[in-house]
Amino acid sequence: MIDVREEIASAPIGPYHRFLALLIGMVVFFDGYDTFNPAYVIHYVAKPWQLAPSQAGLLVSSGLIGFMIGSLLQGKFSDRYGRRATLLAALWIVTVFSFATAALGNSFFAFCGFRLLTGLGMGALLPLGVTYVNEYAPRRLANTFSMWGWALGWAAGGIVAAAIGIYLTPMFGWQALYYAASLSIVLVLVCHVALPESLQFSAMRGNWQGIAQILSRLNPAQAARYDAPGQKFMFPEPSDRPASVSLLLSPRYRRTTLSVWVSAFFILFGIWGLSGWIPTAMMQRGEGFATSFSFGALIQAMAFVGSLLCGYIADRGGKDREAMAAWWLGGAISVTILVLVNVHALNVICVGAAGFCILGGQNVLNNFTAASYDTEVRGTAVGMMLGVGRAGGILGLFITGLLQQHTPGTAGLFVAIGAASLIGGIAIVFVSPRPTRELVATADALRAS
């Protein structure tokens, strides 16, 4: 009997791993792209649509509401019907409504409505990408492999959004952002042909057809063993408990669940407050148009670098919680400096540090959450964590919008972001430590017997 999960965990990184990471990276690219492009729309529509700052915040958070709903729903669907089918449906929703936003979203209410519908699909892309990559990741490089997959794609999406915001929207209007997003139709067609189902999900459901073929592509050196006549496979995880919020709050998972929810809520509060308002805030601080818009790209680039380093520390030292707490404390310090000083060089350094620390730690939290739950409930766990987090993001955009409206300057904005980052760092320390590999192996052996 071959243990499918152990074969995945012990496989060396090979060409098929890189192919899957690239494919999921392209999927999550559109999530990262969509996360930041509403910040560039505000500049063009605030005056023509006569928007107050709080309404401008709703312009961004309307998509977040859809994101939150999509994150929550995808877990139920992906844990029941599979990762692949749910991901393809989400990509179709994103493609159709991104095009509709560009073509028909020419008023405040129409734009918000299409953003809400787009968000239903977008909300599924990141949790599904995180879940999918983690279910193919080798154990010894789980965080690093994930960062070079979905995290790189997410950061690249934000950078491309900034480039289009800077160079194309002055010529073609804000609609250029969403016409570009609708190019995801190409990826949809590629995924229909090339994206396999999650191997762990198939094994958990007892669908052994094609298991040997996929394992052979993951680890070609063992192909003869997998294809041996009469070879059988096993997957030592329970599959008889329906994925649900009540299972996430059961004694087995409760402490971890509540801790990651609190962390996600406050960290996403800070991330969306930062990313949604950074171009506007920097222009208020005296930066030029192109420079202010380029801060969004800086945040994304530094977020990826921060993710790699935080993930490396988590993989090498097994200090996931400690690394995330340190990163978010660093983020709180960096935005606090922006409250006290307004100098161009420090603006660049501190905004880059905020991306490195706050967003970099959040990317590791996504992997940490996926690794902390069994396959049967993993999609629901990641979706609920991001759904709760995006509720924090919605509140973050609204509160920071009110702060922009009722307080002079940008100090209130950065105080709120710093406080949220600090609270998130404190909450993650209370997560239950994950069992050691030896304990996991013992538990698996007991289940198998």
Tokens of 66: 């859809």
Q: Of 349-353, 390-394, 418-422, give the lowest mean pLDDT range.
A: 390-394
The residue segments making up the domain with residue 53 are 2-448
**CATH number for the domain that contains residue 350:** 1.20.1250.20
Higher pLDDT, 187 or 241: 187
Q: What totals of helices (H) and strands (E) does the chain contain, helices first?
A: 22, 2
Confidence of residue 110 (pLDDT cuts 50, 70, 90): very high
- Please give the Cα distance from 276 to 395 (Å, whole number): 12
At residue 43, does pLDDT exceed 80? Answer: no
- Please give the Cα distance from 158 to 33 (Å, whole number): 5
pTM listed for this prediction: 0.74
Percent of the chain scoring above 70 in pLDDT? 93
Percent of the chain scoring above 90 in pLDDT? 24
Q: Of 293-297, 322-326, 422-426, give the lowest mean pLDDT range.
A: 293-297
The predicted model gives 399-422 an average pLDDT of 84
For 74-121, give the secondary structure using H, E and C.
HHHHHHHHCHHHHHHHHHHHHHHHHHHHHHHCCCHHHHHHHHHHHHHH
Higher pLDDT, 434 or 35: 35
At residue 20, does pLDDT exceed 60? Answer: yes
Residue 137: closest CA among 14, 236, 9: 9
Task: Count up the domains in the chain and report the number.
Answer: 1
At residue 223, does pLDDT exceed 80? Answer: yes
The predicted model gives 26-50 an average pLDDT of 83
Return the pLDDT at 127.
Answer: 85
Return the pLDDT at 141.
Answer: 75
Q: Of 84-88, 237-241, 285-289, give the lowest mean pLDDT range.
A: 237-241
At residue 339, does pLDDT exceed 60? Answer: yes
Q: Of 89-93, 96-100, 241-245, give the lowest mean pLDDT range.
A: 241-245
Over residues 55-64, the pLDDT tens digits come to 776 777 787 7
Confidence of residue 183 (pLDDT cuts 50, 70, 90): very high
Return the pLDDT at 242.
Answer: 59
Higher pLDDT, 374 or 121: 121
The predicted model gives 88-107 an average pLDDT of 93
Higher pLDDT, 109 or 76: 109
CB atoms near residue 443 (< 10 Å)? 13
Q: Does residue 294 contact residue 324 with C-beta atoms inside 8 Å?
A: no
Confidence of residue 288 (pLDDT cuts 50, 70, 90): confident
- Furthest-apart CA pair in the chain: how many Å? 74
Average pLDDT, the chain: 84
Tokens of 251: 């004694």
The predicted model gives 428-444 an average pLDDT of 57
Confidence of residue 103 (pLDDT cuts 50, 70, 90): very high
Report CA-CA distances (Å) from 221 to 28, 173, 228, 343: 30, 53, 13, 57
- Please give the Cα distance from 27 to 76 (Å, whole number): 20
The predicted model gives 196-218 an average pLDDT of 84
At residue 238, does pLDDT exceed 70? Answer: no
Higher pLDDT, 45 or 447: 45
The predicted model gives 284-304 an average pLDDT of 81
